[in-house]
Amino acid sequence: MHKTPEIALLIHENLWVVISFAFGRPVIANFVDKRFEGEWKYLNKTIYERAEIRADRALLEMATQLRVLDDAEQLDAYFSQIKRSPMGTVVQGDGKKTGLHFRDLTNKIMHAEKFEWALSDPDNPKVICHSNDVTRWQYAEIDLTALMALIGMLMH
């Protein structure tokens, strides 16, 4: 069986990659726009492609690790019992919006066809998980501040 503190530590490490990308990419992009003239093909590839791929992978790893932790510690049941606020919204297949709660968060990340990083508001970055089956759900919008609050309370 997995040891809870080790899983929680991995979750925190992946959170760092996710939030570093979400909060850092707009700052770095602005910096490069101001300081680098001409074409910087490989620098741009690093900023706009490779970093996002790494953040996508960290998000997916984190969802898997959260699921393992949930299985070991019954986090979803606890969060339901204390009526923890949603960590975003889900647009269902019929267009209805519902709250994105813990277990659903892990499901949406793990079953997403792709991720979209909504970083235009630097104070409120989000990740949008696009569905692999739009008849069931269209997309889920994850509030990264709420995700940080959730993971920030996990001991490691």
> Region 35-61: what's the mean pLDDT?
97
Q: Which of 78, 114, 108 lies closest to 90, judged by CA?
A: 108
Q: Which range of residues forms the domain containing residue 136? A: 4-152
> Region 61-74: what's the mean pLDDT?
96
Q: Encode pLDDT of 75-106 as tens digits.
A: 999 999 999 999 999 999 999 999 999 999 99
- Contacts of residues 116-121 at CB distance under 8 Å and 24 or more positions apart, as own/partner, are 117/21, 117/22, 117/25, 117/52, 117/55, 119/22, 119/25, 119/26, 120/26
**Number of structural domains in the chain:** 1
Q: Is the pLDDT of residue 148 over 80?
A: yes
The pTM for the full model equals: 0.94
Query: What is the overall mean pLDDT for the chain?
Result: 96
What pLDDT does 156 receive?
85
